[in-house]
Structure 1
């Protein structure tokens, strides 16, 4: 097989390329560890409007700033001051059970309002002026992972958050397709040349090794998941499908510590109300079903769910019945036996905004990461995040 044909055909393997290059090929399945902690990350991509998600329904400034965009009907009143968007009704039981903690005013110093740059900051845990090439979860897996399937993202491409300095996870939106792709005759043809002395020294050696490891990971995921397919009925949307696959992985006791999922479409510059209502409904209904699935299989107690968005939205609505890019936002933590459930802190003042008309952040998002790393994943958070951050008390 010549180089040109190899590179041309390797497009077939694109979904399998996100794995480390330094591991040896493995086909045997290690004994599966039970009861260790798993983290599920949910990214609300586009910048969810936190002020219409957690609503200060007694605040006149909120209504005056959003004359046609403020939520006025069917607010789910949780405290004397704050309520849920009506589309979050499915999260009410989690809140009442002490399984949901809501952190308000989460952000970072000198906030950036570019989607791509702010997402990089959240995914790498960098300062706003700092550019890192590895993600916070990837760096965690550098220290605590040794197989590609230790970290799985439910997408065709791997996020920066999941890329370490030495370790990358697996990216797939369908583990069955991943398995079928790995069994394609193309792989057998390519791998049959791996021991050829000339090609093994060729600069394509990295790709060969990657394919070997991906093939083994695809087999491991498929073989260990197919016997524990979910019996829970999920909503019919793409985000719910991601969570259903994650639930199957968790309930099958895959040796996976980190799962990454996303729900996009939150960049609501125009006609926000209906769009956000639909997306929040998908989020809440899918998460509620996911938790039920885990509880049914007694795996919820060892699972923590983190939901974030790269920034919030401006307090004042715009002329198109939407909102512009903002700064501080809310973060949801879902899990069993949370130390502080409900609202972790009050909403920032709507009277004292920053120079751009945004909520002023109170909680640095990296303190949330540090808390999860230290208290949940039992990792050295300072080593992962490259500095020491305060630990919070939600877990």
Structure 2
């Protein structure tokens, strides 16, 4: 049994936290300022895991080279969701028609980075770190979490998914919870101190709330809080690191209790009304939960989710269309939900994948790892329409058989960080990148 004395001993004696001591004040100085609840902008990021085939997502149906390269995977003018006289969306994305017609969907073409890596792991790291050299500590969103404005006592970022906290969300001094979609009432929260002096990150506290667990009686909640308060009181007032632990621990405790209330509500009552006949409705369910958190005034500014299955080496046509339908249906329903709750104008959603696929289909009616691709940015605050030209399919314009990129993905990040979240994008990205014209009024 973990007594109060042993809890305190384990936490403090020999702790790396104590050893950090005086290195923290400068780090604390960059803590987020208080914000007015329900007013600040929110960014939702959806990872399309596996390398989405951009060429069969945004389809150059009017290009004969496309039809020649894809004898079994090609989609005709009559099949696609028409965007203009040259391109259309995969027929699985039919529900995006309303976002398109309302000017709420930006289609960013030819996105990538210099010297593309065709390995899932390396390329995903590059996108999540926002660093093709993979030398930057933490992820691009994690580095931004300490500077986004949040209401006092709230956690600025949440990950919803079955996997461990994604690299994109690491590197923050703030607790980043992971809510497990397969266990709607289950929560894991790991608070990490990302040290700017190269000493790594230190886990401060981890809490897990299980769906099968009985509700914690008020007496036990009080005892848990007393443990955290006792830990904080052991440090002298001049010790900034312990003041930090005290503040974040108490905030984390309060936030966990708020998360419990939202995630333990009956999620089936707020499921999207459209037909979810695909493999599963996980992304739609997770976005519904995010919508509930936003409507509840939770204060979180960045949400991260994912949809897997895009490594389509064989029999791609139908499977890829189903995946894109899951994405489009879920995103469309999400903004419908936000419209009803009155929060849609505060939210921008961005999709991305680690790379595209090769132009030429393979012998298994699928596609292999490629380079340049496309992504979507959606929301009422977005300048709808096509951003950038579709990459050329001419043989002399390809990158070893792959689409070349003409837009560095960090320009998208710079737009969303600086123009939407009001962060210093150059500080987060480690350099200055010209923002894309993605948002209204910019």
Q: TM-score, normalised by structure 2?
A: 0.75
Whole-Å Cα distance in 2 between the matches of residues 299 and 41 of structure 1?
17
- The residue correspondences of 1:1-395 to structure 2 (distance < 5 A) are 1=1, 33-72=37-76, 74-126=79-131, 128-144=132-148, 149-156=155-162, 157-174=164-181, 176-178=185-187, 180-181=209-210, 214-223=252-261, 226=265, 230=270, 232-233=272-273, 235=276, 237-339=281-383, 341-351=384-394, 352-395=396-439
CA distance in 2, matches of 1:106, 1:31: 33
SS at match of 1:246: helix
Counterparts in 2 of 1:32 and 1:177: CA distance versus 1, 3 Å = farther
Q: Secondary structure at the match of 2:147?
A: helix
CA contact (8 A) 1:106 1:364 kept: yes
Q: Contact (CA 8 Å) 1:138, 1:168: kept in 2 or not?
A: no
Instruction: Give how far 1:233 is off.
Output: 2.8
**What is the rounded CA distance, in whole Å, between the counterparts of 1:193 and 1:208 in structure 2?**
11
Aligned partners of 1:266 and 1:47: how far apart in 2?
5
After TM superposition, the structure 1 stretch with the greater mean CA deviation from structure 2, 112-121 or 159-168, is 159-168
Residues 120 and 98 of structure 1: is their aligned pair in 2 closer, same or farther, counting only changes over 3 Å?
A: same
Unaligned runs of 5+ in 2: 8-23, 28-33, 188-207, 236-241
* TM superposition shift of 1:105: 0.2
Query: Would you say how many aligned residue pairs link Structure 1 and Structure 2?
Result: 368
Quick one: structure 1 residues 291 and 238, their matched pair in 2 at CA, closer, same or farther if it must change by over 3 Å?
A: same
Equivalent pair of 1:148/1:169 in contact (CA under 8 Å): no
1:291-347 deviation digits (Å, cap 9, x = unpaired): 1101111111110010111110000001111101111111101011433x2111220
1:89: Cα distance to partner?
A: 0.5
Cα-to-partner distance string for 1:37-57 (whole Å, 9 max, x where unaligned): 000111111011010011111
**Secondary structure of the structure 1 residue equivalent to 2:45:** strand
Q: Separation in 1 of the partners of 2:399 and 2:173?
A: 41
Contact 1:149–1:221 (Cα < 8 Å) also in 2:
no
2:112/2:355 contact within 8 Å kept? yes
* Distance in structure 2 (CA, Å) of the matches to 1:114 and 1:149: 33
Q: 2:14 matched to which residue of 1?
A: none
**Partners of 1:41 and 1:66 in 2: how far apart?**
30
CA RMSD of aligned residues (A): 3.3
